[in-house]
Structure 1
Amino acid sequence: MQRSAFALPRTKLLAALPWTERNGKLSLLKLTVFLGLCAPGLWLAFGFSQDLLGTKPLSHVLHETGLWTIRFLFLSLLVTPARRIFHYSKLINLRRMLGLAALAYGLAHLGLYAADQAFDLGKVASEIVLRIYLTIGFLALLAMGALGLTSTDAMIKRMGPNWNRLHKLTYAIAILGGLHFFMQAKSDVSEAVLMAGFFVLLMSYRQALKWKFDLTSPLVLAAIALIGGLGAAALEFAWYALATGIPPLRVLEANLDFTYSVRPAWWVAATGLGLAAVPLVRKLDRRAVFARLRARPAA
């Protein structure tokens, strides 16, 4: 009797760990992803402690935590289409972990900004109010906090259909985060364009699902890759045209010049094409298995 009385709480405790399944058993997938989510923060902490981050280590860590916030947020948006593309339903178990990791890095980003301002909270608050890009970033973080607080199983059950409505804020958060990234990047927005292009790619996957397109079709995925690349190029052109004095046509033409660098639009398209190759690889692997089975002599 005593053993059964303690079995349920122990299972619940184990299930609450980020690297276990709901039954409390270890998940190698979740453990691997959890370690991957921790790795950037651990590296930044190590680099900062060992003075490996250049002449402005605090600024470097501040920038990187913001960048990883957006990366993990976008990866959480990738989970649903990736389930279809990879034909692997267990990926859905990673969405909450990715979202909470984005929130953790976002909070670290805010804390480091406060540290950069010598923890003068009055100044931090006034800067957030007066500087529009900081206001946008802070609003995105507040919304992420709301999603994080309601991400538990108990809150999902308690909120019912309202939970899905609330968590659609993820798209608005991604837009606000991307805009914050653009505005603080000033003249060189290559990283921001890259993330904006990935957002176009992600939204194209989701729209394709909504329109009942087959995300296991290489042609559909290749078309989405093209849309993502063109979207990145268009957003880069629009930003330079509206927000800077740099001739936007020169930036657009740079997409065809590979002498010095590869523009973000090409990286976005290449990522999309890489995902388009996944169904082809799966089909070839399946055919190879069937060929081996047919080649076996009859027992």
Structure 2
Amino acid sequence: MPRIIRSGRNHVVVPWRGEVWIIALLGLLPAAVYFWYGAQDRLGPDPVNVFERWLGLWAVRFLVLTLLVTPLRVLAGYSLLRYRRMLGLLVFAYACLHVGTYVILDQQGNLGVLVQDITHRPFLLLGFVAFVLLSLLAATSTNWSMRRLGRQWGRLHRLVYGVALLVAVHFLMAFKTYNATSVGYAAILGMLVLWRAPDLWRKRMRRAP
């Protein structure tokens, strides 16, 4: 079991060896369940659409958990920074599965149809931009990237708040009618970005000449 130690004002969760990877496996468990349901033909009359939406929903859920790490440390004094990278990678994993399902199963990999669909449906364009930015964050999530980029790494990874806004709007627009799930998660993402906005603005102003 993880230990909780006191460090200044914060309670830091210290995991036992290998716990982060267990979290990764547990995080991927819903995807495995959905694959199994699909193989058993238990996803209803439109299995591709259901599969695609479920994967997208879990990407949003892990994005919310990733963004909650800082408020939890500031407001409650519990530091889960050790887990943030893995949570972020789970966001990317589910985003890849979500996009892959759309590209391969939904559109059959037809590049012409994909381009037309993305350019004519705004919510898809927003989702595509969010995925590109998320891919950049995932590619630079390594210790080597942190050392190589130095201070620029932190500035780059603040793009996650832009990703959150894009995802919130994409998630809302993906449904023909508003519902508790889409509005609820979009509102949570919006509040997490707004909560962080003043601090990000102060940092930006301090860097200004």
Q: Offset at 1:101?
A: 0.9
Equivalent AA in structure 1 for residue 118 of structure 2: I
Match of 2:136 in 1: 146
Q: 1:52 to 1:166 in 2, by over 3 A?
A: same
- Alignment match of 2:196 (pick from 197, 206, 218): 206
Give SS of 1:185's match: coil
Q: Does 1:55 align with 2:45?
A: yes
When normalised by structure 1's length, the TM-score is 0.58
Equivalent AA in structure 2 for residue 34 of structure 1: A
Q: Does 1:99 align with 2:103?
A: no
Query: For residues 43 and 117 of structure 1, what CA distance do their matches in structure 2 show?
Result: 23
Query: For residues 67 and 147 of structure 1, what CA distance do their matches in structure 2 show?
Result: 20
Match of 2:206 in 1: none
- Listed as ranges, the matches of 1:251-262 within 5 Å are none
Match of 1:87 in 2: 77
Equivalent AA in structure 1 for residue 17 of structure 2: L
Q: Offset at 1:208?
A: 8.2
- Alignment match of 1:183 (pick from 164, 168, 173): 173
- Alignment match of 2:28 (pick from 30, 35, 38): 38
Query: For residues 174 and 109 of structure 1, what CA distance do their matches in structure 2 show?
Result: 16
Alpha carbons 2:48, 2:101 under 8 Å: kept:
yes
When normalised by structure 2's length, the TM-score is 0.81
Q: Offset at 1:126?
A: 2.0
Match of 2:121 in 1: 131
Q: Quick one: higher RCO (CA 8 Å, sep 6+), 1 or 2?
A: 2
Unaligned runs of 5+ in 1: 1-20, 211-299
Query: For residues 164 and 209 of structure 1, what CA distance do their matches in structure 2 show?
Result: 14
Q: 1:63 to 1:135 in 2, by over 3 A?
A: same
Give SS of 1:154's match: helix
- Listed as ranges, the matches of 1:160-171 within 5 Å are 160-171=150-161
Query: For residues 88 and 171 of structure 1, what CA distance do their matches in structure 2 show?
Result: 21
Equivalent AA in structure 1 for residue 126 of structure 2: I
Q: Offset at 1:116?
A: 0.8
- Listed as ranges, the matches of 1:18-29 within 5 Å are 26-28=17-19
Q: Offset at 1:157?
A: 0.7
Deviations 1:48-86 (A, max 9, x none): 111121111111110011111111112111111223445
- Alignment match of 1:111 (pick from 97, 100, 124): 100
Alpha carbons 2:56, 2:95 under 8 Å: kept:
yes
Query: For residues 192 and 169 of structure 2, what CA distance do their matches in structure 1 show?
Result: 16
Q: 1:135 to 1:208 in 2, by over 3 A?
A: closer
Q: 1:31 to 1:148 in 2, by over 3 A?
A: closer
Q: 1:84 to 1:193 in 2, by over 3 A?
A: same
Is the radius of gyration larger for structure 1 or structure 2?
1
Q: CA RMSD in A?
A: 2.3
